[in-house]
Structure formats: C-alpha cells, structure tokens
Amino acid sequence: MNLARESIELVEQVARILWFEGTKHGLRDREWMALRFLSRANRFSRTPSALASYVGTTRGTASFIIGELERLGYIERKRSAKDKRSVMLSVTQQGKKFLARDPVNVLVDAIAVLDDEAKVRLRDALRHVLDQSDAAEQRHHTDVCKRCIFLREDRIIADGKTAAEFSCRLFRAPIAEPEVELLCTSFEHHRL
C-alpha cells in the first residue's frame, strides 16, 4: 500500500467540498475562498492583488469577486491613508456573521473533534506537503506571519517586565502581537 498516494486520494475528495459547481448560500467557491481569506489576512494582504494571488486567479477575476462581495455587503474597501492609490479590503460585520455558513465549516468541525496532538500532526503534515511542493515548484504558499523568515522579534523591558516586540523586515513596519497569527501572501518560510 502506498500511504502517500492514498493520502492524496483522500485530499482530492476533501477538495470536492472546497470546490463545487454553482453556489452555496449564494456564493461561488472562489467567493467563499476570498471572504474566508480576507477574514484571516493581515493588513499587507487585504489588497486586490494579494487576494488574486491567494485565490489563484487574474486581477480581473479578483475584481469581479470583490465587486460581488461588496455588493452583498460582506466586504468594504477603503483607500489607504498612506497611499491613496492603494485599496484595503475588510470584512464587514455582516460578512463575519455570514462566515458561520461557510461550506468548509463541515471540515473544520470534523477536525475540531480530534485531540490536540492529532490536530497538530495533521496541520504539520499539510504544511510539510506545501513547504516541499513550494521548493519543487519555486513558489511560496500563504501562511501565518509567526513562521515567516522576515519576522523579527525583539525583547524589550517595559515597567520592569519583558515583552516581545515584532516587526517585518520586508515591509519595514511594526507588527502587533495579534497580527503574528494572521495570514500573509508575502510569507516565506525558513529553508533548511
């Protein structure tokens, strides 16, 4: 029995839940993917071009998806305060509420009942697969900021206590502690 191949056969079938014909609760699969991504992305990745890269589509298709989500009131776009030409996308309260109906929640719930050790093993195995395929295909996947090669952590002493202070060496910007858990399309992992 080839365990690696058997695993991929299962992943293929899991993917059928992610990719479907038509709509579910009024959204197409890519629109769901975009909404899900925007609810988890950091401020550098909530842009039309980062969204296009994450969903794996052209800028034109991403623009159509953004327009549709905006029309339905699930996201809103704002001009960046620093650069008026760039646009920042955010999920509205209505969009956050709507995510409770996300078709992938059935997968999330199935994983949630595993014990913590099994969850960590599953996550790490999927990450290993992505890391390895990135190297083979010379690309990089989107992942959480805390694993990124560009994240810098400094220890500072304030009021007699030691605290962590984070910054991004790529964007040359401070990163708030909760942001290290968010997704970034510019993520790069440490290569061994």
Q: How many amino acids of this chain bind ligand SF4 (CB under 6 A)?
A: 12
For residue 170, the minimal CB distance to ligand SF4 (Å) is: 4
Is position 150 an interface residue for ligand SF4 (rule: CB under 6 A)?
Answer: yes
Shorter beta-carbon distance to ligand SF4: residue 24 or 43: 43
| Piece of the chain touching ligand SF4 by CB under 6 A; list 8-16, 27-35, 52-60, 181-189 | 181-189
Integer Cα distance of 28 and 72 in angstroms: 13
Long-range contacts: 14-21, Cβ < 8 Å, 24+?
A: 14/107, 17/103, 17/104, 17/106, 17/107, 18/103, 18/104, 18/107, 20/103
The one-letter code for the residue type at 150 is F
The one-letter code for the residue type at 69 is L
Q: Which is it for strands 151-158 and 143-144: parallel, antiparallel or unpaired?
A: unpaired
| Piece of the chain touching ligand SF4 by CB under 6 A; list 72-80, 129-137, 155-163, 182-190 | 182-190
Inter-residue contact 134 to 70 (CB < 8 Å): no
Is position 148 an interface residue for ligand SF4 (rule: CB under 6 A)?
Answer: yes
Site for ligand SF4 in 22-61 (CB under 6 A): 42, 44
The closest of 108, 131, 102, 130 to 34, measured between CA atoms, is: 102
Is position 142 an interface residue for ligand SF4 (rule: CB under 6 A)?
Answer: no
For residue 175, the minimal CB distance to ligand SF4 (Å) is: 6
| Piece of the chain touching ligand SF4 by CB under 6 A; list 80-88, 101-109, 144-152, 155-163 | 144-152
DSSP conformation class of 20: -
| Piece of the chain touching ligand SF4 by CB under 6 A; list 1-9, 85-93, 94-102, 142-150 | 142-150
Inter-residue contact 41 to 183 (CB < 8 Å): yes
Judged by the rule CB under 6 A, the positions of this chain that interact with ligand SF4 are: 42, 44, 145, 148, 150-151, 168, 170-171, 184, 186-187
